[in-house]
A and B are shown apart, each in its own frame.
Chain A
């Protein structure tokens, strides 16, 4: 659950290559990453802002060259070179110029010797890539919820999905791929574990949703006229399948719906008065000296996942903290960590072992 970079000073952040790339290129994708980063490290906002200001000052004036200008310069230089080659050496090469050239060449040699040892050929990644392909082909798993209640699906990357009745989800059994991808039919509430190096994609018939680690709800039932994505926390990007380059950025309490027939997109704030407050997308998981047994009851209910524990042993345990938007197992893990207990998953049931609290 750590996002790199994780700097302790402005200088450290300034030196970071992902930061430099973001500042230079300012791509939408990087912006998404840094928004997420600020969300994960709210305490580092100051460092971030100082680093940005510092970068802007060091960078100075923007250049005004277009890509076309650069192509033109390249052509001019190549032309000059061609002329030069045909008409042998010109007066340009007077003595002063030669001196400059000599200095450059010598320095070049020095660098080369200095770094030669580091420049080893890289052949290793080729083999890993073909292995990944093998895994990709085989191991897809599909879970369908044919019951009358929502059910929780635990994904291999520790993200969790609360899958509504009549919905199904297909996902990869292995985590060692470049991105995390799931296919959804119906409705699911996603709590995605944070890992910006592996973006998480949810594909439905009409919409694709991309996140780096956040919680949100996707609804896309066959036979329904509208598909919907609703964000609870973090930021997600949504692309209609019909026009995959048109991505919309959604922030908490925003939703995007698309009319399937017309592909018409509507972006709006989530309704102020939620239709069903017990829906997990509307619930809060913030606690202050709350009894752990009460919390476990709530989790059991919200995720529809049985949790087994000894009520008496936990009667003196309380928990204070914020568990919003964490995947189901991460919530359990954090609670267990605070009350010095352990947990296991046995027969689709969470079993908590505790010695109680003093």
Chain B
């Protein structure tokens, strides 16, 4: 098996003027970026435009762009500022509040995921209800931490808050979700009995 070229190697080539390297970076991170952008509840076309602009600017500014520890983090962070800029311009929205989509997957393939169907359906729906009650910033932090696997430090930088606040968001969100859990399985057992 050939090892794929690492991100930071591509990054270096792109800054030296290699268009194909930037192309590969696009290919590699497009899905991640689009998925993240869509979470802000803006339509697909707008997200795709933001991504396009992001890469266009990366190219134009390649001589001023620095090396980066994580290309993925760099791109997500840039996309975030593009999206927020768009929201500011188009929707005149105030600084603080962004939206965060919590829509569920169409279906859960419990068998593939090695979980029980009933557990899956019940817990997933219950959790979604809980997630909806969280502030959008906490939802975003959860996503960046447990879906994109970013570090607390990286998240703090993206969301323009200090690290302690991110840790707090995460802890608060998790413990809120966990507390409900203690009730949920019991409820489920009762449901199956009656």
Q: Which A residues contact B (CB, under 8 angstroms)? A: 10-11, 14-15, 17, 20, 23, 26, 31, 34-35, 38, 48-50, 52-63, 65, 70-71, 73-74, 76-78, 80-82, 84-85, 89, 92-93, 96-97, 100-101, 103-105, 107-112, 114-116, 118-119
Contact = CB atoms under 8 A, between A and B. Distances in A.
A74 B65 contact: no
Given A35-B114, A85-B59, 19 more contacts: A15-B149, A31-B114, A48-B114, A56-B104, A61-B104, A62-B106, A71-B27, A76-B52, A84-B56, A84-B60, A92-B53, A104-B57, A107-B77, A108-B66, A109-B66, A111-B73, A112-B67, A112-B69, A118-B69
25 contacts: A10-B174, A11-B174, A31-B112, A48-B115, A53-B123, A56-B105, A56-B108, A56-B120, A58-B146, A61-B38, A62-B106, A63-B31, A63-B38, A73-B48, A76-B52, A77-B55, A93-B60, A96-B85, A97-B57, A100-B81, A104-B57, A107-B77, A112-B69, A114-B153, A118-B69
Given A10-B178, A20-B149, A49-B119, A59 B23 contact: no
Contacts of B81: 100, 103-104
B146 A26 contact: no
A112 B82 contact: no
A11 B23 CA distance: 35
B181 A108 contact: no
A34 B114 contact: yes
Interface string B137-164: 0000011011101000110010000000
A115 B78 CA distance: 18
Majority SS of interface residues in chain A?
helix
B116 interface: yes
A326 B57 CA distance: 59
Contacts, number: 166
A213 to B, nearest CB: 17
Contacts of A70: 27, 30-31
Interface in B116-137: 116, 119-120, 123-124, 127-128, 131
A14 B170 CA distance: 12
Interface residues of B, number: 70
Contacts of A93: 60
Nearest to B148: A20
Nearest to B39: A60
B85 A81 contact: no
Contacts of A10: 174, 178
